[in-house]
Amino acid sequence: MSIFSNFTNLVKEIKKIDKSIDVRGRDFSELYEKNIRLEEEISERTKELEQANKTILTLNSVWDMMNSSQPLSNMLDNIVHILHEDMNYDFVSILKLDKDNENGNMFFSVKSTSSSKTVAKAFSFINESIESYKLPYVDNSIVVKSITEKKIYSTPDIKGMVKLFFPLLTDEQYKDVVSGVTSKSCTIVPLHNQKGSFGCVLVSSDRDGVTDTETNFLSLFANQIELAITVAGLFEEVKKQAITDPLTGLYNRRYFEDNIEKEAERSLRLKQPFSLVSLDLDYLKRINDTYGHQFGDIAIKTISNVLKKEARSIDIPARIGGEEFNLLLPGVDSQGALIAAERIRKSIENQVIDTIGGITASIGVATFLEHSDRIDELTELADQAMYNAKIKGRNQVQLAQKQDASNWQQTAIETFIDIIDKKRISVDDNISKAINQKLKNIKESSSNQNDAIYSIVDMISQTYNHSYKTGTTKSKLLLAVMLAKKIDLQPDEIDRLRLAILLYDIGNIMIPEAILNKKEPLTDKEKEIIKTHPVIAAREILKPISNIQDVIPIIENHHENWDGNGYPDKKAGVEVPILSQIVLLVDAFYAMAQDRPYRNAYTIDEIISIIKSEAGKQWNEKLVDDFIYVVKNEQSR
């Protein structure tokens, strides 16, 4: 074979190799390009998976929040944090659709928001806090359109959104605010709850618009937020109902008592006073009787509205019950409280109610650390001051006296005002009016104050005991006090005894008259009914009255015998309070000294003989000796 032939064959082989290499090169290039595309697709899918995972975690976080029963404000703050930090939005804000009570105009309030230099600068110019600012509601705006149509909208006009929500910025201020804007798009996500439109979520980012995937996520997220808002709203509604009075919307007694305890702890720790204002609507019964209970409710609501208007944000106005209200004034001394109370009094006096006309209130003021450092005493003193305002003519403010400055007469008057005004006992309307008139005529400086008190007790006693003689109450009280002094009781004990003598038998008014005035012997069942009167007096009529709590045990035990055969609890010996024993002795003496439907009155000698026979059984022997000494000494005068 020639050299030429060999060369030709070599060229052919080289061409075959070149062709094979070219084919393999193209195959390799295609494979390389496919690998690049696959890597890109893997990267994209990885990002999508990461985003999907974030979405799942985000939705799961919202679900966890719903199950935690968080307050709505906390939940909205957490949602904003999730979108801002975890989902990488530049700015997030939740706006609530509200209505102005004064003019009825709609506006948006900011319920939660992430930090933003742009927004912060805008608020610095308008000189308002973000919590109080009312963002404008513009009918043809993209925000209102999104909420109305329940559709997510996105806009690249970030500067226009600034102008929409801050229309009062000057041109220079507006330029300064938008100069720092870095976001490229703003998305509005409408929110609704069971009551209708709640508002929207605003999110801005450095991306141009939103993708379908992002829109789907925001739609799912909005559904979760709406459910969270509904759950949190229901939770707050239940919580609100638990601490508020349904008629007035003020705080209820339970909430007030919890908070006055907290305030007392704070006051003692910081040595800073707080004041309690006790308020009572005047003549509610007259309003109810004249116009109907619906107008009484209107009067009560009117006072509650005054308290809401006059109270500071840190004050706690509460309806304690019926026509009674309290107002807690943290950090306010007695002089400041008097000014606040007088402002409230004038505001109530200036209210004009259709059909009723004007209303008034009697108000008492007491200050913690000034009048007392105990909550129960402070409440009692405020109540006493309020009743003092009633005694002096109503529609006025009275400052509490310190505990040692009060007296039994004033406490008695306050108690009877409470009993009659609150209808704690059932008496004829004419008697109720007569008692009210007597109470109205009593003045603090009146020389016949005691006689007026005795006469009130006589009138009440005569409603259930027709043989009860006028003047008996005075005689009972004087005899009880003489015995108390004979055994050297302290002045405060004697004052409590006086009050017990005035009130111990009031439970009888709740026992059927047919039993009390029965001529024949009582049946066992009727005797058991009679035995209920100390319990009725102590636990049903008098227990709600705060300023006589230390008198109630005396009344509750005044039918317990020395030998343990009394009632209601069969206490014996020293278990029976000495003041209760005195009440029982005095009660027995005057019961025997009066005619009864089933017998005539006993003579003094007969009474003394009976009492002596019961010494060591019904009564303490020593107490009987002292009592007989007092009676005989009094008879000899």
pLDDT at 212: 82
Residues 405/433, Cβ–Cβ less than 8 Å: no
Query: Which of 482, 504, 469, 486 has its CA nearest to residue 583?
Result: 504
The CA distance from 110 to 128, in Å, is: 12
- 59 token code pair: 């939705």
Q: What is the 3-state secondary structure (H, E, C) of 257-280?
A: HHHHHHHHHHHHHHCCCEEEEEEE
Contact 553, 495 (CB under 8 A): no
Measured CA to CA, the distance from residue 593 to residue 479 in angstroms comes to 13
DSSP of 159-178 = HHHHHHH-TT--HHHHHHHH
Tokens coding 322: 């019926």
- DSSP state string for 62-98: HHHHHHTT--HHHHHHHHHHIIIIIS--SEEEEEEEE
pTM over the 0.75 mark: no
Residue 441 has a pLDDT of 75
pLDDT of residue 18: 61
Structure tokens at 142: 């993209």
**CA nearest neighbour of 318 among 257, 241, 375, 359:** 257
Burial environment of residue 571 by CB neighbours within 10 A (0 to 12, 13 to 18, 19 or more): middle
Mean pLDDT by 10 residues, the chain (637 residues): 62 64 60 65 57 54 54 77 81 89 84 87 85 89 93 92 91 89 91 82 86 81 74 62 86 91 93 95 90 93 94 93 93 95 96 92 95 84 82 87 66 85 81 81 60 84 78 87 85 88 76 66 73 69 84 88 90 92 91 80 90 91 90 59
What number of CA atoms fall less than 13 Å from residue 355's CA on the CB side?
11
Q: What is the model's pLDDT at position 530?
A: 65
Q: Is the dihedral of CA 398, 403, 405, 408 positive or negative?
A: positive
For residue 345, give the 3-state DSSP assignment. helix
Give the dihedral sign, CA 44/46/52/55: negative
The amino acid at residue 519 is K
